[in-house]
Structure 1
Amino acid sequence: MKNKSPFLLVSFVIIFALAWGTFIGFGSNPAWISNLALGLDIEGGVAVVFEGERGELSAQEFDRLLEQTKAVLAKRIDTFGLTEPNIARSGTNRIRIELPGAKDVDAALSSIGKTAVLEFYQINDGEFVVAGMPAGEDFPGTLLFKGDSLKDAGVGLDQYNNSTVVFTLSKEAADIFGQSTKNIIDTYSLKEGQIAIVLDGEVISAPRVDQVLHTEELMITGNFSPEEAISLANLIRGGALPISLTEVQTSYIDATLGREALSKSIFAGIIGFILIVIIMVLRYRLSGVVASIALILYTSLLFLLMILFGATLTLPGIAGLLLSIGMAVDANVIIFERLREELWIGKSLRSSLRSSFKRAMTTIIDSNVTTLLASIILYYFGEGPIKGFAITLSLGILLSMFSAITITRTLLSWVITIPFFRNTKFYVNGGRS
């Protein structure tokens, strides 16, 4: 057998460098694990439950509109800059929203629950409206189109450096707007009039029109602060809620409690990892050392994959991680017990290694697939933290199978190419040369 010690050395250096970068960091650069998103139970924040009003809608229509409402809420919340918000259906008529790291809870909840119905009216000839006027049943104008005819909205500045809201109309809305301005110029007594912009039943701007406008780019001016302009643009971009929502439950989680639980979980994980390494080395000797190194790589890759996929770490998710690490060790135990049996009956080290992985394969796949199916069921039927547990457990199971079947096997096959480590005493008690 060709000596693979150079490959083995390079592999160990890469593994420890990857682990160092994941959990400690290089120089002034923070550890990569610091990029992992933390859930509500760790980061702290607000959880709110909204209940949809069904009214006269059929069950099927209500379900469809509730899904649309969930999508609109997701678009709105994405503009708040919160860390990994979670939006999920709860039961048949409720939507649960988790806002980790929310700072201004009242403002966030106010923006989430607003109906944000934006309307454009052509004000009748001879009438005049101002910002702040309610748009009731006797409002002196004709509805042109609503906010769902907008393609996008953002924030800008006017010629006086005042904050404004700029938005883009769809082609259909732009045609309607152009025809309305033409109608004002052609038919109004003073050859001018107003287009009122109404948000949630209140006039927010009523610009004067004295020329025909054919454009898809429009601007809302007014006495907006920068924060008000951003909030209004976010609401316009998010769109109107398809159904009315009622806030039925709000809970606040202190970040201090979550951080304390996280610290204790990390401490328990470190102690457990050290004990696993000690037991593996004492029981399986050199095989245990190789398995422990593979376990370090497994743990590093598991966290890096969670960061890559944008997964959120929750306290139940930590339980799933620890369970998957235990299953990774279990796979190695099965393999190494097979290896001991093969060596005890007098087979060569190379033959024993090949046979142990082959005989253990079925058991490892069966046990992991069974647990994987259970985690898939948990994800499909569970909500919130249960899904977090299922995701981390599933990811850990798949990676543990790869670690035990591929990484550990490759490293051990390289180890036995080194003449010094071909003595079976490095693998079982009372081994032979």
Structure 2
Amino acid sequence: MKNQKFKAILAIILFLLVTLGMAYVDVFGLAGSGKAEDIKLGLDLAGGVSITYGVVGDDISSEDMADTVYRLQKRVDGYSTEGEVYKQGDNRIAIEIPGVTNATEILEELGQPGALEFMDETNYQLFANGKDYETVLTGADIKEAQAGIDNSKTVTDYVVQLEFTDSGREKFATATTNNVGKRIYIIYNGDVVSAPQVQEAITTGSCVINKIESYEEADRIATSIRIGALPLELTELQSNVVGAKLGEDAIHTSLLAGVIGLALVALIMILVYRFPGVVSVLALCAYTILMVLCLNLFDVTLTLPGIAGILLSIGMAVDANVIIFTRIKEEITTGKTVPVAVQAGFKKALSAILDGNITTLIAAAVLWFMASGSVKGFAQTLALGILLSMFSALVITKMLLNAFIQLGVTNPKFYGTISERKSHDYVKNSKFCFIFSALVIIAGLVFLPINKANTNIGHILNFSMEFMGGTSMTVEFDKQYTLAEAEKEILPVVSEAIGISDGDIQLQNVQDSNSIIIKTPQLSLDQRNAAETALKDAFTINDFSTENISSTVSNEMQRDAILSVIVASILMLIYIAFRFKDVRFGASAVLALIHDVMFVFTLYAVAHLSVGNTFIACMLTIVGYSINATIIIFDRIRENMKVMDSKKTPLKDIVNTSITQTFTRSIYTNLTTFVMVLVLYIVGVSAIKEFALALMVGVLGGTYSSICITGPLWYYMRTKLTKKEKTKAAKAAK
């Protein structure tokens, strides 16, 4: 006995030491790294610039692709050591430069990589007249181009210094030898960048373009040459410039939401589950500290949706404890001692916890493979949170509970019991629920043509720029404008600057802020810069960010949104059918998932929520999460079919009893998650509010469907469809 108490004390001390050690690393780091502030932040939190280029043409060699990535990386390194250039698919290159304050200037300098050509006077005339021509050099022959100042003369001369590749040196030597006294035209994307006169034959592999009016002009010429000197011709598909202030606000509000949410969840657990609730709070603290440690350990790039994923997973981390503690209460109610009840509670809860979390992991995996950008961060943190939550509940909570039991905390009053609930006939009353659900879904479908007829929307849903393509500018002013004031004062300035009519520009207020979102058709880089300059000249601007998406990318996002939900649903159907050895369990669960998705779809249609990249994350999260409560009920039905003897007890009674027994558990598992998302909605920045609102509706819809829809739906599929099959078989036998 003394030996067991010693082991229990040792386990608790070990837990405290390890937790405090991890907390120390989170705050102060280890060997100069590992601190919470060292976590890599995405562009939406750190500010910065991202660009996705598409390669022009079909015949793309791996060598040219690798060389282009290398040259772009060398250029990006000049802006930030944290900048990344990487190949995306077979014909795209992505650039991400976080944490830079001059993001707009960087985007302008990187520019729109295009074709660079050098021509002699004869071929330039052919080019200018639209006839076939030949070049003396192309961008592939240029190694480097830098602006400079020549102070060797009495008058300051601004120059561009060119360095050629080996093949370029030979070509340029031939060209200059044949064109002494004549001009060499440097053409970038069809425009003359410069036309210097050849003074002598140049065979050294480098040259200087002189007599340029200003350093700015020299820098412009050098930049154009560097951009065009890539082995491949690139075209901009998507770009995003984020102001650092937006990211700072997002981090601050998200941390606040996390602290408030954790406190509320801890309070709920202690009030409802007493002593085990206290233990779960200790485990939850360890979980949160471990999550921060893992973000550093696995070099996860934290994004705004990623923070939402962490907060969501905190609520889900408690779900497993709710399932376990409710099982423990049930075992104590049957007269078992606390030690026996705890062991039985963990054992009986294991299958529901594993099944629920694996289905959510399926959704996170689909999201990871099919989504892009910051939404990948959401999938990553959600998956990490799910794995850590299972470790927290099945290892940490179990270890602590067993340790305290060994120390004598075995009074049933500390754990609570369950009052017997009167069984409700959910199957009989399910028809009213089916009617209600049908009305909600029909309402969403009815709003689709209404939205399309609405001139302010013009589409069946309020598709964001990510799904439509175009340019979005988020501008934070020094004061708050009403929409009417913005249309009167801001709209004319933007319209004149970019040369687009007022009717093609859409303004949108950002709730509880001084920001205005300006949406337009896809703009060129020059137009975006013109808009920013005009707004800064006319108003006091605190922060400015832009996003530009081509129709190619937006079409892909629409396709991925639909495909990801279908793929996730099919995978879950297969998994549940396999685990429960009955395809009707899987079919009814997937139908309930479609029901939950349609509930949220109705919200998007009626409330005109923006349908963009986070829409995919929202739908898949709902698909992955709402199935948890369904699995709890199915798990109990499967258990009761053995305990209650399904041959003697009507199947209807088994279903009703199972739903009644798991009712409280279903409510509390969803309540903790709902609280976290609610706090995120109240406290979070505007960019995450719509996402949080949709998740709240999804959690409520999932709770409702798991209690009122899935059980009766499985019952009807089990009885009605089986009867039809037997009738058909009997007729066939005759």
Smaller-chain TM-score bracket: 0.5 to 0.7
Counterpart amino acid of residue 301 in structure 1: L
Deviations 1:360-400, CA, capped at 9 Å, x for gaps: 11111111112222222333333333322222212211221
Deviations 1:209-239, CA, capped at 9 Å, x for gaps: 999x9xxxx888889x9x97xx97x958994
Which structure 2 residues correspond to residues 140-289 of structure 1 after superposition, within 5 A? 235=226, 239-245=230-236, 252-289=241-278
- Describe the shift of the 1:290–1:11 C-alpha distance in structure 2 as closer, same or farther (beyond 3 A): same
- Describe the shift of the 1:116–1:63 C-alpha distance in structure 2 as closer, same or farther (beyond 3 A): closer
Distance, in Å, in 2 between the alignment partners of 1:256 and 1:370 is: 37
Correspondent of 1:9 among 9, 13, 32: 13
Count of residues paired in the alignment:
388
Correspondent of 1:44 among 31, 42, 47: 47
Q: Is the 8 A contact 2:138 2:229 kept in 1?
A: no
- Describe the shift of the 1:180–1:239 C-alpha distance in structure 2 as closer, same or farther (beyond 3 A): closer
TM-score w.r.t. the length of structure 2 is: 0.42
Question: Quick check: 1:401 aligned with 2:362?
Answer: no
Q: Which residue of 2 aligns with 1:412?
A: 401
Distance, in Å, in 2 between the alignment partners of 1:317 and 1:297 is: 20
Distance, in Å, in 1 between the alignment partners of 2:24 and 2:364 is: 30
- Describe the shift of the 1:103–1:180 C-alpha distance in structure 2 as closer, same or farther (beyond 3 A): closer
SS at match of 1:391: helix
Q: Which residue of 2 aligns with 1:104?
A: 102
Distance, in Å, in 1 between the alignment partners of 2:168 and 2:107 is: 34
SS at match of 1:259: helix
Q: Is the 8 A contact 2:48 2:98 kept in 1?
A: yes
SS at match of 2:288: helix
- Describe the shift of the 1:309–1:153 C-alpha distance in structure 2 as closer, same or farther (beyond 3 A): farther
Question: Quick check: 1:80 aligned with 2:79?
Answer: yes
Deviation at 1:403, TM superposition (A): 1.8
Correspondent of 2:408 among 409, 414, 421: 421
Q: Is the 8 A contact 1:328 1:400 kept in 2?
A: yes
Deviation at 1:243, TM superposition (A): 3.4
Distance, in Å, in 1 between the alignment partners of 2:409 and 2:296 is: 40
Q: Which residue of 2 aligns with 1:18?
A: 22
Deviations 1:55-99, CA, capped at 9 Å, x for gaps: xx5xxx38999x959973963545531756698979x99988665
Q: Which residue of 2 aligns with 1:32?
A: 35
Deviation at 1:256, TM superposition (A): 2.9
- Describe the shift of the 1:222–1:63 C-alpha distance in structure 2 as closer, same or farther (beyond 3 A): closer
SS at match of 1:38: coil
Deviations 1:381-430, CA, capped at 9 Å, x for gaps: 333333222222122112211221222223333333xx533423474248
Counterpart amino acid of residue 328 in structure 1: A
Deviations 1:160-186, CA, capped at 9 Å, x for gaps: 9xx9999997xxxx69979999x99xx
Q: Which residue of 2 aligns with 1:113?
A: 111
SS at match of 2:378: helix
Q: Is the 8 A contact 2:115 2:233 kept in 1?
A: no
SS at match of 1:285: helix
Distance, in Å, in 2 between the alignment partners of 1:342 and 1:145 is: 83
Deviations 1:336-368, CA, capped at 9 Å, x for gaps: 111222233333433322221111111111111
Question: Quick check: 1:314 aligned with 2:317?
Answer: no
Deviations 1:235-272, CA, capped at 9 Å, x for gaps: 5899434334488xx66544334423332222121111
Q: Which residue of 2 aligns with 1:360?
A: 349
Deviation at 1:322, TM superposition (A): 1.0
Distance, in Å, in 2 between the alignment partners of 1:100 and 1:37 is: 9
SS at match of 1:346: coil
Q: Is the 8 A contact 1:70 1:88 kept in 2?
A: no
Correspondent of 1:325 among 314, 320, 339: 314
Distance, in Å, in 1 between the alignment partners of 2:228 and 2:305 is: 35
SS at match of 1:312: coil
Counterpart amino acid of residue 21 in structure 2: A
Distance, in Å, in 1 between the alignment partners of 2:305 and 2:140 is: 40
- Describe the shift of the 1:348–1:149 C-alpha distance in structure 2 as closer, same or farther (beyond 3 A): farther
Counterpart amino acid of residue 280 in structure 1: M
- Describe the shift of the 1:310–1:154 C-alpha distance in structure 2 as closer, same or farther (beyond 3 A): farther
Q: Is the 8 A contact 2:280 2:321 kept in 1?
A: yes
TM-score w.r.t. the length of structure 1 is: 0.65
Distance, in Å, in 2 between the alignment partners of 1:85 and 1:321 is: 25
Q: Is the 8 A contact 1:70 1:87 kept in 2?
A: no
**Considering only aligned residues, what root-mean-square deviation do their CA atoms show, in Å?**
5.5
Counterpart amino acid of residue 41 in structure 1: D
Q: Is the 8 A contact 1:42 1:262 kept in 2?
A: yes
Q: Which residue of 2 aligns with 1:192?
A: none
- Describe the shift of the 1:210–1:111 C-alpha distance in structure 2 as closer, same or farther (beyond 3 A): closer
- Describe the shift of the 1:69–1:203 C-alpha distance in structure 2 as closer, same or farther (beyond 3 A): farther
Q: Which has the higher strand share?
A: 1
Counterpart amino acid of residue 396 in structure 2: I
Deviation at 1:318, TM superposition (A): 1.7
Distance, in Å, in 2 between the alignment partners of 1:426 and 1:388 is: 43
Deviation at 1:11, TM superposition (A): 1.8
Q: Which has the higher helix share?
A: 2
- Describe the shift of the 1:68–1:264 C-alpha distance in structure 2 as closer, same or farther (beyond 3 A): same
- Describe the shift of the 1:273–1:246 C-alpha distance in structure 2 as closer, same or farther (beyond 3 A): closer
- Describe the shift of the 1:306–1:239 C-alpha distance in structure 2 as closer, same or farther (beyond 3 A): farther
Q: Is the 8 A contact 2:364 2:379 kept in 1?
A: yes
Deviation at 1:333, TM superposition (A): 0.9
**Which blocks of at least 5 consecutive residues in structure 2 are unaligned?**
128-133, 152-158, 178-183, 419-734
Distance, in Å, in 2 between the alignment partners of 1:203 and 1:364 is: 68
Name the structure, 1 or 2, with higher relative contact order (CA <8 Å, separation 6+). Answer: 1
SS at match of 2:372: coil
- Describe the shift of the 1:242–1:30 C-alpha distance in structure 2 as closer, same or farther (beyond 3 A): closer
Counterpart amino acid of residue 112 in structure 1: L
Distance, in Å, in 2 between the alignment partners of 1:349 and 1:154 is: 77
- Describe the shift of the 1:244–1:236 C-alpha distance in structure 2 as closer, same or farther (beyond 3 A): closer
Deviation at 1:320, TM superposition (A): 1.1
Distance, in Å, in 1 between the alignment partners of 2:96 and 2:303 is: 12
Identity of aligned residues (%): 32
Q: Which residue of 2 aligns with 1:369?
A: 358
Distance, in Å, in 2 between the alignment partners of 1:176 and 1:430 is: 84
Q: Is the 8 A contact 1:45 1:255 kept in 2?
A: yes
